[in-house]
Chains A and B, each alone.
Chain A
Amino acid sequence: MLPDRYGHFGIFGGKFVPETLMPALKELEKEYLCCQKDRAFQKELYYLLTEYAGRPTPLYFAKNLSKYLGGCRVYLKREDLLHTGAHKINNTLGQALLAKRMGKKRIIAETGAGQHGVATATVAALLGLECQVYMGEEDIHRQELNVFRMKLLGADVIPVTTGSKTLKEACSEAIRDWVTNVKDTYYIIGSVVGPHPYPLIVRDFQSVIGREARKQIIYLEKKLPDYLVACVGGGSNSMGLFHPFLNDKKVKMIGVEAAGLGFNSGKTAASLLKGKVGVLHGSKSLVLQDKNGQIEVAHSLAAGLDYPGVGPEHSYYKQIKRATYVAVTDKQALKGFELLSQTEGIIPALEPAHAIAYLAHAKSRFKKNSVIVVCLSGRGDKDVTLVSSVLNKK
Chain B
Amino acid sequence: MNRITKKFTELKKKNKKALVVYLTVGYPDIATTEKLILELARIGVHMFELGVPFSDPLADGPVIQASSSYALKHKINLDNTFSLTKRLRKKIDNPLLIMGYFNPVLNYGLERFAKNAGLCGLDGIIIPDLPTEEARALRSYLDKNKLYLIDFIAPTTDSSRIKKIAKECRGFIYYVSLTGVTGARNKLPRGISERLAYLKRFIKIPVCVGFGISNRKQFQSIAKFSDGVIVGSAIIKNIRDNLGKKDLVHKVVSFTKKLVP
Which residue of chain B is the closest to A182 with respect to CB atoms? B179
In the bound assembly, the distance between CA atoms of A168 and B58 in angstroms comes to 11
**Which of A19-27, A89-97, A322-330 forms contacts with chain B?**
A19-27
In the bound assembly, the distance between CA atoms of A18 and B129 in angstroms comes to 5
Whether B56 is near chain A, meaning CB under 8 Å from some CB there, is: yes
Chain A residues within an 8 Å CB radius of B72: 294
Given that A179-B59, A180-B179, A182-B179 are known contacts, is A18 also in contact with B128, CB under 8 Å in the complex?
yes
Measured CB to CB, the closest approach of chain B to A201, in angstroms, equals 19
Whether B103 is near chain A, meaning CB under 8 Å from some CB there, is: yes
Are A20 and B176 in contact, CB atoms less than 8 angstroms apart?
A: yes
List residues 126-153 of chain A with CB under 8 A from any CB of chain B.
Answer: none
Are B131 and A15 in contact, CB atoms less than 8 angstroms apart?
A: yes
Are A279 and B106 in contact, CB atoms less than 8 angstroms apart?
A: yes
Chain B residues within an 8 Å CB radius of A263: none
Are B155 and A20 in contact, CB atoms less than 8 angstroms apart?
A: yes
Are A292 and B77 in contact, CB atoms less than 8 angstroms apart?
A: yes
Measured CB to CB, the closest approach of chain A to B197, in angstroms, equals 19
Q: Mark B54-73, 1 if CB is under 8 A from A, else 0.
A: 11111101000100010010
Whether A355 is near chain B, meaning CB under 8 Å from some CB there, is: no
In the bound assembly, the distance between CA atoms of A182 and B161 in angstroms comes to 17
Chain A residues within an 8 Å CB radius of B59: 18, 176, 179
Whether A183 is near chain B, meaning CB under 8 Å from some CB there, is: yes
Whether A287 is near chain B, meaning CB under 8 Å from some CB there, is: yes
Measured CB to CB, the closest approach of chain A to B85, in angstroms, equals 17
Which residue of chain A is the closest to B76 with respect to CB atoms? A292
In-complex Cβ contact of A22 among B55, B101, B131, B181 (8 A): B131
In-complex Cβ contact of A279 among B103, B152, B157, B176 (8 A): B103
Whether B133 is near chain A, meaning CB under 8 Å from some CB there, is: yes
Are A276 and B107 in contact, CB atoms less than 8 angstroms apart?
A: yes
Size of the B side of the interface (Cβ < 8 Å), in residues, is: 39
Which residue of chain B is the closest to A24 with respect to CB atoms? B156
In the bound assembly, the distance between CA atoms of A294 and B181 in angstroms comes to 20
Whether A202 is near chain B, meaning CB under 8 Å from some CB there, is: no
Are B158 and A17 in contact, CB atoms less than 8 angstroms apart?
A: no
Are B56 and A172 in contact, CB atoms less than 8 angstroms apart?
A: yes
Which residue of chain A is the closest to B151 with respect to CB atoms? A19
Chain A residues within an 8 Å CB radius of B103: 278-280, 287, 289, 293-295
Chain A residues within an 8 Å CB radius of B153: 19
Are B107 and A293 in contact, CB atoms less than 8 angstroms apart?
A: yes
Are B106 and A162 in contact, CB atoms less than 8 angstroms apart?
A: no
In-complex Cβ contact of A172 among B58, B130, B156 (8 A): B58
In-complex Cβ contact of B129 among A16, A24, A289, A295 (8 A): A16
In the bound assembly, the distance between CA atoms of A277 and B102 in angstroms comes to 12
In-complex Cβ contact of A179 among B56, B65, B179 (8 A): B179
Chain B residues within an 8 Å CB radius of A278: 103, 106-107
In the bound assembly, the distance between CA atoms of A279 and B181 in angstroms comes to 19
Query: Secondary structure at chain A's binding surface: helix, strand, loop or mixed?
Result: mixed
Whether B154 is near chain A, meaning CB under 8 Å from some CB there, is: yes
Which residue of chain A is the closest to B134 with respect to CB atoms? A14
Are A179 and B180 in contact, CB atoms less than 8 angstroms apart?
A: yes
Whether B104 is near chain A, meaning CB under 8 Å from some CB there, is: yes
Most chain A C-beta atoms within 10 Å of own C-beta, residue among B69, B152, B156? B156
Whether A163 is near chain B, meaning CB under 8 Å from some CB there, is: yes
Measured CB to CB, the closest approach of chain A to B74, in angstroms, equals 13
In the bound assembly, the distance between CA atoms of A233 and B181 in angstroms comes to 28
Whether B198 is near chain A, meaning CB under 8 Å from some CB there, is: no
Are B58 and A281 in contact, CB atoms less than 8 angstroms apart?
A: yes
Whether B234 is near chain A, meaning CB under 8 Å from some CB there, is: no
Are B58 and A175 in contact, CB atoms less than 8 angstroms apart?
A: yes
Measured CB to CB, the closest approach of chain B to A310, in angstroms, equals 15
Whether A52 is near chain B, meaning CB under 8 Å from some CB there, is: no
Measured CB to CB, the closest approach of chain A to B52, in angstroms, equals 10
Whether B223 is near chain A, meaning CB under 8 Å from some CB there, is: no
Measured CB to CB, the closest approach of chain B to A162, in angstroms, equals 6
Chain B residues within an 8 Å CB radius of A282: 129
Whether B78 is near chain A, meaning CB under 8 Å from some CB there, is: yes
Chain A residues within an 8 Å CB radius of B157: 19-20, 22-23
Which residue of chain A is the closest to B135 with respect to CB atoms? A16
In the bound assembly, the distance between CA atoms of A22 and B154 in angstroms comes to 9
In-complex Cβ contact of B158 among A23, A279, A292, A295 (8 A): A23
Are A162 and B69 in contact, CB atoms less than 8 angstroms apart?
A: yes
Taking A14-B134, A20-B180 as known contacts, 5 extra A-B pairs with beta carbons closer than 8 A to each other, sorted by chain A number, are: A16-B129, A23-B157, A162-B69, A176-B59, A294-B104
Query: What are 22 sample pairs from A and B whose C-beta atoms fall under 8 A apart?
Result: A14-B133, A16-B134, A19-B154, A19-B156, A20-B179, A21-B156, A22-B154, A22-B161, A162-B65, A163-B56, A172-B56, A176-B59, A176-B181, A179-B181, A180-B181, A181-B179, A276-B107, A278-B107, A281-B56, A281-B58, A289-B103, A294-B55
Interface residues of B (CB under 8 A from A): 54-59, 61, 65, 69, 72, 77-78, 101-108, 128-131, 133-134, 151-158, 161, 176, 179-181
